Chain A
Amino acid sequence: MQLSGWGRYPRAECRLLRPRALDDVSALVGQTPLIARGNGRAYGDAALGAPETLAMGQFNRMLAFDEASGILTAQAGVQLAEVIDVFLPRGWFPAVTPGTKFVTIGGAIAADVHGKNHHKDGSFSTCVEWIDLAGPDGTVRRASKAENPELFAWTCGGMGLTGVILRAAIRLRRVESGWIRQRSHPAPGLRSAMALFEENHAATYSVAWIDCLAGGQSLGRSLVMTGEHAEAGELTPRESADRFVRQGKRAKAVPFDFPQIALNPLSVRAFNELYYGVGAWNRGEGLIDYDSYFYPLDALLEWNRIYGRRGFAQFQCVIPLAAAEAGVAALLRRIASSGQGSFLAVLKRMGPQESRFSFPMEGYTLALDFPVKDASAALFTELERIVIDHGGRFYLAKDAFLSPEALRAADRRTGQFTAMRAASGSAGRFVSALSERLEL
């Protein structure tokens, strides 16, 4: 069947393997090269098999929960949305969450996703206690910081290429409510946006929406949004009545593919003007529910359809701190002049992170999406050049365009990753469209 990632580009003819039981996965691993797929929320080709694709989303059983430590043991197909549904009413929340709650735990580990608290709490791997992984010979091994630490380190951020994640134990964080105390700070340009991030380093969550069509004086115009989990005493009667936001808002679905013309420089520019204007008007503090704060796009199911039939591509890079301002400014100038920028552009300060093959490093990450057009590949190549020249690297969970050469130029760890794959025998066993494209 034809599968794609969340960006709906590229699409590939895959064979979906649906084992009946989790214990059957080991036997499958020996039979054919494959890649595990969770809920298909990686944007590009990370979870497309070549062609065998192992459907892991069906393995969504929660196995144990320790009320004292907040450690949840679960099969890899459990989604963060389910974790929140079950545990937020009991006062727990994922310690790290990306911008969608529809990711599986297995996918979150494989991509070592990050959230709005990366500067403070690090990536998803920091809340992973252990992983059960079916390796190249089908044997299931437990990996943690103490047990098989090498395997653990390569698997977090390993894009599923070290084995199939079967189960994991993750640590949740205690919260007193499902509400977020949000403060928004308008920043008229890139420098002031970055200054705001540095000033607000102590905030638990921080992220900026950035207007990637603004140029000149307004280059990098942003709304920096910081957030804290609201404590029970900080809620007004309105929120107290629904302390854990149990009445989730009804999600709406995008009913059809938008024609590509719907997103054009004019409509995006108009949206950006409005968004910045309203944001600047609403500056200051307010309480919003966790869904609106962390997952604004999840409220619009299948929002990927607004980019039309051809799909879209995400571009996400991180530039190290010292070169961040120059690098991000160069990227924004290039994007503004292309007129292709989208209204979903995000800037975020990342904290330090040591890892084998994970994306994050200390610096600034910029994420935007582009409708896939004939011109996209050329623009992407130029953006890649800018990132490489500033010492940055790329987020493979979002990527669909990178070349093996660009990956290696950006990330010296790639050679060690492929050497590990060859030595462990996972190279021939765990194969995705991404690993084929990038020669991993």
Chain B
Amino acid sequence: MTQTILILGARSDIGLAVAHAFAAKGWAVQLAARDAVALSAEQADIAVRFNVPVTLHELDALDLAAHERFIAALPVLPDVAVTAIGLMGEQAENEADPAKAVTVLRSNFEGPANLFAILANCMIVRGSGTLVGISSVAGIRGRAANYVYGSAKAGFTAFLSGLRNRLAKGKTGVHVVTVLPGFVNTRMTAGMDLPRKLTAEPKELGQAVWSAVEKGRDVIYVRPIWRLVMLIIRHIPEAVFKKLSI
């Protein structure tokens, strides 16, 4: 039977890369995003490349009240759901305008967490499924450069770990994968001067998510070197850390 993957935040390069990785294995794809009709080229692209059915679904991550309905309206409850919903914002703007900061917090944490909470309950009833949360290494330690985004991702990472704990203890058959991508060469990072060895291509990330789901992994970094980088960053004493600009 054909398996189905739902991509939440399907306009993002990361979301599309994950869709490609699964479509390449013959999975049907549900693309969900705001202004979903504008994704018709992406829909056609996946259908042409991989000969799989692709459907579009309207979703506003911030409209929490509509999430139940959104999930109920899906043609089929997906086997795997991935959230690639993310909003970096401009740190300077987030500092000057708290309302903007709140939008960043809600987009990266509240919206995705609410969607996963609902999806988890549906998957428990069915007794199977995998939820893949694309979080961020920025959530491991707050930095001056992007702590609004980072703190929202920290919240989401903690949410994913708690949800995984709950689902595993309850022997629900539902699994949670946390993805901490590190730098990825996407539109979100276009124009940033990123170190090549630390920067993954979206395609790499798609493959990494595929194999993490296959193997039932809990937390993955896309490039292994990030495990080391974050180990070091985690262990810098706060008294030192607060003076660094990294």
Residue positions of A touching B, CB distance < 8 A: 18, 20-22, 61-65, 72, 75, 82, 86
Q: How many Cβ-Cβ contacts under 8 Å join chain A to chain B?
A: 25
Which of A61, A65, A86 has the most chain B CB atoms closer than 10 A to its own CB? Answer: A61
Q: Is the CB of B48 within 8 A of A65?
A: yes
Complex: chain A residue closest to B49, CB-CB: A86
Q: How far is the CA of A62 from the CA of B40 in the complex (A)?
A: 11
- Decide: A75 and B48 in contact? CB cutoff 8 A: no
Partner of B44, one of A64, A82, A86: A64
User: Can you list 7 residue pairs at the A/B interface with Cβ under 8 Å?
Assistant: A20-B187, A22-B41, A61-B41, A61-B42, A64-B44, A64-B48, A65-B48
Known: A72-B48, A86-B49. 19 other contacts (CB 8 A): A18-B187, A18-B190, A21-B38, A22-B41, A61-B41, A61-B42, A61-B44, A61-B45, A62-B44, A62-B45, A62-B48, A62-B49, A63-B41, A63-B45, A63-B48, A64-B44, A64-B48, A82-B49, A86-B48
Docked Cα-Cα span, A18 to B186, in Å, equals 12
Q: How far is the CA of A64 from the CA of B45 in the complex (A)?
A: 8
**Chain A residue nearest in CB terms to B13:** A58
Chain B residues contacting A21 (CB-CB under 8 Å) are 38
B190 neighbours in A (Cβ, 8 Å): 18
Q: Which residues of A contact B44 (CB under 8 A)?
A: 61-64
- CB neighbours (8 Å) of A63 from chain B are 41, 44-45, 48
Give the 10 A-B residue pairs with the shortest CB-CB distance, closest first. A61-B45, A62-B48, A61-B41, A63-B44, A62-B45, A86-B49, A65-B48, A62-B49, A63-B41, A64-B44
* Nearest CB of chain B from residue A166's CB, rounded to whole Å: 11
Smallest Cβ distance from B222 to chain A, in angstroms? 20
Q: How far is the CA of A63 from the CA of B41 in the complex (A)?
A: 6
Interface of chain B residues 32 through 69 with chain A (CB within 8 A) = 38, 41-42, 44-45, 48-49
Least CB distance, B39 to chain A, in whole angstroms: 10
- Would you give the shortest CB distance from B57 to chain A, in whole angstroms? 19
Query: How far, in angstroms, from A64 to B44 measured CA to CA in the complex?
Result: 7
In the bound complex, residues from chain A placing their C-beta under 8 Å from that of B38 are: 21
Residues of B bordering A, CB below 8 Å: 38, 41-42, 44-45, 48-49, 187, 190
Complex Cα–Cα for A86 and B47 (A): 11
Q: What is the chain B residue whose CB lies nearest that of A82?
A: B49
Expressed in whole angstroms, the Cα–Cα distance for A75 and B48 within the complex equals 13
Q: B49: which A residues are within 8 A, CB to CB?
A: 62, 82, 86
Give bound CA distance, A372 to B174, whole Å: 61
Tell me, rounded to whole Å, the shortest Cβ–Cβ distance linking A165 to chain B: 16
Complex CA gap A436/B19 in Å reads 43
Please name all residues of chain B whose beta carbon is closer than 8 Å to the beta carbon of A75 when the two chains form the complex. 41
Which single residue of chain A is at the shortest CB-CB distance from B42? A61
Residues on the A chain within 8 Å of B41, using CB: 22, 61, 63, 75
Q: Distance (Å) between the CB of A78 and the closest chain B CB?
A: 9
Q: Give the docked Cα–Cα distance between A430 and B90 (Å).
A: 33
Chain A nearest Cβ from B110, distance in angstroms: 25
Q: Measured between C-beta atoms, what is the minimum distance from B216 to chain A in Å?
A: 27
Q: Distance in Å from the Cβ of B38 to the closest Cβ of chain A?
A: 7
The residue in chain B whose Cβ has the minimal distance to the Cβ of A60 is B45
CA distance A61 to B45 in the complex (A): 5
Residues of B with C-beta under 8 A to A86: 48-49
Closest to A167 in B: B41
**Bound complex: CA of A132 vs CA of B235, how far in Å?**
56
In the bound complex, residues from chain B placing their C-beta under 8 Å from that of A22 are 41
Complex formed: what's the CA distance from A63 to B45 in Å? 5
Q: How far is the CB of B177 from chain A (nearest CB, A)?
A: 27
Q: Kindly list chain A residues whose C-beta atoms are within 8 Å of the C-beta of B187.
A: 18, 20
Find chain B residues with CB under 8 A from A72 CB.
48
Q: In the docked arrangement, what's the CA distance between A75 and B187, Å?
A: 18
Give the residue name and chain of the B residue nearest to A72 (CB): B48
Chain A: CB-nearest residue to B40: A63
Q: B28 CB to closest chain A CB, in angstroms?
A: 18
Instruction: Compute how far the CA of A62 lies from the CA of B50 in the bound complex, rounded to whole angstroms.
Output: 11
Contacts of A62 in B (CB 8 A): 44-45, 48-49
Chain A residues with CB below 8 A from B45, complex form: 61-63
Quote the shortest CB–CB distance from B19 to chain A (angstroms).
12
Smallest CB–CB gap between B204 and chain A, Å? Answer: 15
| Complex alpha-carbon distance, A21 and B42, angstroms | 11
Docked pose: A22 CA to B44 CA in angstroms: 15
Question: Nearest residue in A to B38 (C-beta to C-beta)?
Answer: A21
Docked CA distance A213–B38 (Å) = 56
Please, which residue of chain B has its CB at the minimum distance from the CB of A65? B48
Residues of chain A lying within 8 A (CB to CB) of residue B42: 61
CA distance A61 to B41 in the complex (A): 6
How far in angstroms is the closest Cβ of chain A from B106? 22
Interface hub of A21, A22, A65 (most chain B Cβ within 10 A): A65
B23 to chain A minimum Cβ distance, whole angstroms, is 11
A171 shortest CB reach to chain B, Å: 15
CA distance A189 to B203 in the complex (A): 48
